[in-house]
C-alpha cells in the first residue's frame, strides 16, 4: 500500500518512504490525466461548471503528492529525494504542458470565455475564467505545432536547471565549515553564539568551534567577530556560492535559465521574460518597475551615501580601517548602532525566547482576528523539531492546521518561507480548511539557554506568520484562487504588515518577557527599538533596490549577449554600489529567489509591498493597532479573498484609496529627502 495513494487528510509523513514518491507521482499524473481527458472529451456543451470549475478541481491527488514531496525537498531533503526531484520535475512539466497545449480542452475553455458577457458569473467565477483562459493563452495554446513542441522542450529543461541550481546552492552551503580551535578567533562573539558554535562542532565530533554558512551561524559571526581576516574569509565563502568553476558552479545554469526564459517569452509573443511575467502583476510592465525603483533610488541614495560615509568614518576612528569592505558592514553597523542607541541584540534576545514569540504572534492574531491556537500532538510530522497546531475561530470552528519548523539542519535549505500542504476551497457544500506551514532557520537552543531570537528573527517569524494567515484565513470557492494564489507583488502585503506589530509597545507587552525573570521588556528598550527602526534605512533600501535591478537586468532585456555572469552583475549593481567590488564573490550564482523560486522579474515586489504595508499600517495606527473595525476590513477584503479579484480593488475596498508611496518614505525616515 502506497500511503500517498491512499486518501489522507493530514500528510502521513511517518508512513512515507522515499520509494513511495515516484510511483505515487506516476499514478497521480495518470489519474489527473484521465480527469482532464474526461473534461476535454465531454459530449456536453461547455459550461463554466463542467469545464472551468471542473478543471480547477482536477488533479487534487497530484497536488497533495506534489506538496508533500516538494516541501520535504526544501525542509528535509537528502540525495535520494533530490534525485527523485530531478526525475519527476520534467514529468510534471510535461503534464502541465499536456494541459495547456490540449487543443480540445482549450476549445471548451475558449467557448466559455467567449460567452462570458452573457453568463451570470460571480466576481470570483469571472476571475477564475479569466485566469484559466490566460493559463492556456499565456502558455502556448494559440501556437502552431512546431512552437508548441519547442515550448515543451524549454519547460522540461527549465524545470531541471532550476532544481540543479538549488541543489548546488544547498551543497555549497553544507560543504563549507570554518573550524576554529583558538578561542581568540571568537573574540567579540556573545557567549550564546560561542556555545552554539561549540555544540555544532561537538555534534560533528570535532574540538573547538564550527561556523557555517547557515544564517544563525553566519550572521552573528559577521556582526560580532572582531577578527577581520576571518570575517573576510566567511563573507567570501558566503558570497561565492556556486561561483567556483567546479561541479557545483551555477554560472552556466544562470545563463541557460535566462536565455530559455527569454526564448519562451518570445515564442509566446512577449518582448522579454519580464514583459511576460509582469502582465499578470500589479506593476503591469517593466517600464513601471524601473520607474518605481528609480523613484525609490532617488529618495534613498543621498541618505544611503550619507549613512555609508558616517559608517566608514566611524570604522576609521575606531579601528583605523582605511576602506570599508563588505565584510566590515554588519560589524561596524552593529557597533555604531550600540553607540547611537545603546541597543544590541544581546540586550534584546533574553526577551525573545522562541516559545514566547510564537505565543506572542498567536496573541496578536487572536486580538486582531479572533483566532484560537491549540498545540496538538496527534498530527504526523516529518521531523521531531516540527510543532503542530489546530487553529479555531471564536465559535470553535476549525480554521486551519498549522505546521511550524524553526531550526536549521543539513537537509533544510536556508531562509524562511510559508507553504501549504492542503489548499482551502468549498466543494459539495463543505468548506475544506487548509493545512499551512511556516519554515524558518532560527538559532537553536543550547545546553544552557533556550532558543533566544535576534530582533531580526522576531520580525521574520511575524513576517512568515503573515503569509500563514493569508493561507489560514482563506475563504474562497476555488482552490486556484485560494490563500496566497494572488499577484506576486501583492503576496507580500499580509506578511510585511505583520512585522509592524513587533515595534509597538502594546504588542510587545503581550509576549516580550525575560526568559529567566519573567520581566516585561522595559519601555526604554521598546523606545530604542522604535528609534533604531530607521537606522541605516537608506542603505537597506538601496540594497533591496539593487536586488530588484539585478533581477530586471537578467530578465528585462535580451540576455543572449551575456557571456560573463560577474560582469553582468557588476553593471546591474553600478547605480547602487557603496562598497568596493569584491572579485571573488557573485550574488547571482546563489540568488535562489529569482533562479529557483518564483521571484524572476518580481524581486521589486518586496519594496512594492512595503508601500502597501506602510500605507495599510498607517490606517491601523490612525484607529488603534488592535482596532476591530480595521482588522475585520483587512481580514474580509485582503486575507480571506485570495486571488478572487484584482488586488488594487481589494486594497481600495480595505483602505478607501490607492496606496501612497509617502507612507513608506515617512516610515523609513526618507521623507525629508523629498522636501529639501
pLDDT digits (tens, 9 = 90+) for 186-210: 999 999 899 999 999 999 999 999 9
Is the pLDDT confidence value at 671 over 80? no
pLDDT confidence band for 72 (50 / 70 / 90): very high
DSSP 550-598: HHHHHHSS-GGG---HHHHHHHHHGGG--SPP-TT--SGGG-HHHHTSS
Residue 126's H or E segment, with its range, is helix 123-137
Sequence-distant (6+) residues with CB within 8 A of 28 are: 4, 5, 59, 61, 62, 65
In percent, the amount of the chain with pLDDT more than 70 equals 99
Is the pLDDT confidence value at 673 over 60? no
Q: In whole angstroms, what separates CA 381 from the centre of its chain?
A: 22
Sequence length of the chain is 676
Question: What is the four-CA torsion angle of 500, 501, 504, 505, rounded to 10 degrees?
Answer: -170
Q: Give the mean model confidence (pLDDT) for residues 265-293.
A: 96
Torsions phi, psi for 437 (to 5 deg)? -135, 140
Please tell me whether residue 448 adopts helix, strand or coil conformation: coil
User: Do 356 and 513 form a contact (C-beta atoms < 8 A)?
Assistant: yes
Cα diameter, the chain: 81
Torsions phi, psi for 353 (to 5 deg)? -65, 135
Give the residue from 642, 636, 609, 639 showing the smallest Cα distance to 493: 609
Is the pLDDT confidence value at 351 over 60? yes
Sequence-distant (6+) residues with CB within 8 A of 489 are: 281, 282, 283, 602, 604, 605, 608, 609, 647
Sequence-distant (6+) residues with CB within 8 A of 151 are: 97, 101, 139, 140, 143, 264, 267, 268
pLDDT confidence band for 672 (50 / 70 / 90): low
- Looking up cell 508548441 gives 148
Q: Give the mean model confidence (pLDDT) for residues 235-257.
A: 98
User: C-alpha distances in angstroms, 569 versus 254, 554, 561, 599?
Assistant: 12, 9, 14, 17
pLDDT confidence band for 2 (50 / 70 / 90): very high
User: Do 511 and 367 form a contact (C-beta atoms < 8 A)?
Assistant: no
d(CA 543, CA 583): 18
Active site (annotated) includes residue 464: yes
Position 19 scores a pLDDT of: 96
Q: Domains (ranges, CATH) in the chain?
A: 13-142 (1.20.1050.40), 176-239 (no CATH), 349-520+607-668 (1.10.1370.40)
Which of 193, 307, 464, 499 is flagged as catalytic? 464
The residues with which 210 forms a beta bridge, in sequence order, are: 179
Q: Give the mean model confidence (pLDDT) for residues 514-525.
A: 94
Residue range 140-186, pLDDT digits in tens: 988 999 999 999 999 999 999 999 999 999 999 999 999 999 999 99
The residues with which 419 forms a beta bridge, in sequence order, are: 437
d(CA 190, CA 224): 8
Position 488 scores a pLDDT of: 84
Crossing angle of the two packed helices 647-655 and 605-623, in degrees rounded to 10 = 20
Checking phi first, is residue 581 left (phi over 0); if not, alpha (psi -120 to 50) or beta? beta
Give the residue from 6, 8, 58 showing the smallest Cα distance to 480: 58
Q: Give the mean model confidence (pLDDT) for residues 383-399.
A: 97
User: Do 507 and 617 form a contact (C-beta atoms < 8 A)?
Assistant: no
Give the residue from 146, 153, 170 showing the smallest Cα distance to 85: 170
Position 674 scores a pLDDT of: 41
Position 101 scores a pLDDT of: 87
Give the residue from 299, 298, 375, 331 showing the smallest Cα distance to 228: 331
Crossing angle of the two packed helices 326-341 and 228-239, in degrees rounded to 10 = 120
Q: Among 37-41, 432-436, 441-445, 612-616, where is mean pLDDT lowest?
A: 441-445
Residue range 526-563, pLDDT digits in tens: 889 888 989 999 999 999 999 999 999 999 999 999 99
pLDDT confidence band for 224 (50 / 70 / 90): very high
Cell numbers describing residue 290? 524601473
d(CA 566, CA 552): 15
Residue range 629-670, pLDDT digits in tens: 999 999 999 999 999 999 999 999 999 999 988 899 999 888
Residue range 23-41, pLDDT digits in tens: 999 999 999 999 999 999 9
This prediction's pTM: 0.85
d(CA 357, CA 361): 6
Is the pLDDT confidence value at 489 over 90? no
Q: Give the mean model confidence (pLDDT) for residues 230-249.
A: 98
Q: Give the mean model confidence (pLDDT) for residues 42-54.
A: 98
User: Do 510 and 363 form a contact (C-beta atoms < 8 A)?
Assistant: yes
Q: Measured in Å, how far apart are the chain's first and last C-alpha atoms?
A: 71
Sequence-distant (6+) residues with CB within 8 A of 672 are: none
Position 344 scores a pLDDT of: 80
Checking phi first, is residue 318 left (phi over 0); if not, alpha (psi -120 to 50) or beta? alpha
User: C-alpha distances in angstroms, 501 versus 200, 402, 625?
Assistant: 33, 21, 8
Give the residue from 653, 665, 541 showing the smallest Cα distance to 614: 665
Give the residue from 598, 630, 594 showing the smallest Cα distance to 615: 630
Please tell me whether residue 313 adopts helix, strand or coil conformation: helix
d(CA 472, CA 357): 19
Position 414 scores a pLDDT of: 85
Please tell me whether residue 625 adopts helix, strand or coil conformation: coil
Per DSSP, 454 falls in state -
HSE-CB for 468 with a 13 A CA cutoff: 29
d(CA 404, CA 418): 9
User: Do 225 and 231 form a contact (C-beta atoms < 8 A)?
Assistant: yes
The mean of the pLDDT values for the chain is 95
In percent, the amount of the chain with pLDDT more than 90 equals 91
HSE-CB for 499 with a 13 A CA cutoff: 19
Helical ranges in 439-504 per DSSP H = 455-472, 493-499
Amino acid at each position: 500500500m502506497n500511503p500517498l495513494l491512499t486518501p489522507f487528510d493530514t500528510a502521513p509523513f511517518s508512513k512515507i518512504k522515499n520509494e513511495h514518491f515516484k510511483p505515487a507521482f506516476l499514478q497521480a499524473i495518470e489519474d489527473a490525466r484521465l480527469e482532464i481527458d474526461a473534461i476535454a472529451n465531454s459530449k456536453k456543451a461547455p459550461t463554466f461548471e463542467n469545464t472551468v470549475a471542473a478543471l480547477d478541481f482536477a488533479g487534487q491527488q497530484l497536488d497533495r503528492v506534489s506538496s508533500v514531496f516538494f516541501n520535504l525537498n526544501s525542509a528535509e531533503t537528502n540525495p535520494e529525494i533530490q534525485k527523485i526531484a530531478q526525475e519527476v520535475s520534467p514529468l510534471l512539466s510535461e503534464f502541465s504542458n499536456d494541459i495547456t497545449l490540449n487543443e480540445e480542452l482549450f476549445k471548451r475553455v475558449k467557448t466559455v470565455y467567449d460567452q462570458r458577457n452573457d453568463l451570470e458569473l460571480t466576481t470570483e467565477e469571472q476571475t477564475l475564467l479569466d485566469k484559466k483562459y490566460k493559463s492556456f493563452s499565456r502558455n502556448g495554446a494559440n501556437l502552431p505545432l512546431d512552437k508548441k513542441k519547442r515550448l515543451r522542450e524549454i519547460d522540461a529543461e527549465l524545470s531541471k536547471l532550476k532544481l540543479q541550481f538549488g541543489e548546488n546552492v544547498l551543497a555549497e552551503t553544507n560543504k563549507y565549515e570554518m573550524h576554529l580551535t583558538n578561542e581568540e578567533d571568537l573574540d567579540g562573539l556573545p557567549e550564546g553564539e560561542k556555545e552554539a558554535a561549540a555544540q555544532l562542532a561537538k555534534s560533528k565530533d570535532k574540538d573547538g568551534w564550527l561556523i557555517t554558512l547557515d544564517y544563525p551561524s553566519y550572521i552573528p559571526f559577521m556582526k560580532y567577530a572582531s577578527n577581520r581576516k576571518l570575517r573576510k574569509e566567511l563573507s567570501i565563502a558566503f558570497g561565492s556560492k556556486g561561483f567556483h568553476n567546479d561541479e557545483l558552479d551555477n554560472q552556466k545554469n544562470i545563463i541557460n535559465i535566462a536565455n530559455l526564459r527569454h526564448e519562451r517569452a518570445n515564442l509566446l509573443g512577449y518582448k522579454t521574460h519580464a514583459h511576460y511575467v509582469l502582465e499578470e502583476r500589479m506593476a503591469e510592465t517593466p517600464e513601471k518597475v524601473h520607474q518605481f525603483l528609480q523613484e525609490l533610488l532617488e529618495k534613498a541614495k543621498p541618505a544611503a551615501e550619507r549613512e555609508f560615509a558616517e559608517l566608514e568614518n566611524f570604522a576609521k576612528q575606531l579601528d583605523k580601517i582605511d576602506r570599508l569592505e563588505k565584510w566590515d558592514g554588519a560589524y561596524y553597523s552593529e557597533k555604531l548602532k550600540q553607540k547611537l542607541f545603546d541597543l544590541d541584540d544581546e540586550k534584546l534576545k533574553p526577551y525573545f525566547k522562541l516559545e514566547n514569540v510564537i505565543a506572542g504572534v498567536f496573541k496578536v492574531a487572536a486580538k486582531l482576528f479572533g483566532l484560537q491556537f491549540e498545540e496538538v500532538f496527534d498530527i504526523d510530522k516529518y521531523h521531531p523539531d516540527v510543532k503542530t497546531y489546530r487553529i479555531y475561530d471564536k465559535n470553535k470552528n476549525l480554521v486551519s492546521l498549522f505546521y511550524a519548523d524553526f531550526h536549521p539542519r543539513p537537509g533544510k535549505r536556508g531562509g524562511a518561507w510559508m507553504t501549504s500542504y492542503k489548499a482551502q476551497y468549498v466543494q459539495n457544500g463543505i468548506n475544506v480548511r487548509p493545512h499551512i506551514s511556516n519554515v524558518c532557520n532560527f538559532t537553536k537552543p543550547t545546553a544552557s539557554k533556550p532558543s533566544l531570537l535576534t530582533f531580526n528573527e522576531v520580525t521574520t517569524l511575524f513576517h512568515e506568520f503573515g503569509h500563514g494567515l493569508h493561507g489560514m484565513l482563506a475563504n474562497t470557492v476555488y482552490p486556484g484562487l485560494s490563500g496566497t494564489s494572488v499577484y506576486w507583488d501583492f503576496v507580500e502585503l499580509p506578511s510585511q504588515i505583520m512585522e509592524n506589530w513587533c515595534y509597538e509597545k502594546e504588542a510587545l507587552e503581550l509576549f516580550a518577557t525575560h526568559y529567566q525573570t519573567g520581566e516585561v521588556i522595559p519601555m526604554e528598550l521598546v523606545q530604542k527599538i522604535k528609534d533604531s527602526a530607521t537606522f541605516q534605512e537608506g542603505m537597506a533600501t538601496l540594497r533591496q533596490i539593487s536586488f530588484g535591478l539585478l533581477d530586471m537586468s537578467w530578465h528585462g532585456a535580451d540576455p543572449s549577449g551575456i557571456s560573463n555572469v560577474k560582469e553582468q552583475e557588476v553593471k546591474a549593481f553600478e547605480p547602487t554600489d557603496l562598497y568596493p567590488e569584491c572579485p571573488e564573490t557573485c550574488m547571482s550564482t546563489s540568488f535562489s529567489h529569482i533562479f529557483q523560486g518564483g521571484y524572476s522579474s518580481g524581486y521589486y515586489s518586496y519594496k512594492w509591498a512595503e508601500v502597501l504595508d506602510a500605507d495599510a499600517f498607517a490606517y491601523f495606527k490612525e484607529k488603534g493597532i488592535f482596532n476591530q473595525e480595521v482588522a475585520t476590513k483587512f481580514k474580509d477584503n485582503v486575507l480571506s479573498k485570495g486571488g478572487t479579484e484584482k488586488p488594487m480593488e481589494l486594497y481600495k475596498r480595505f483602505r478607501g484609496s490607492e496606496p501612497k508611496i509617502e507612507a513608506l518614505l515617512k516610515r523609513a525616515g526618507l521623507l525629508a529627502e523629498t522636501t529639501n
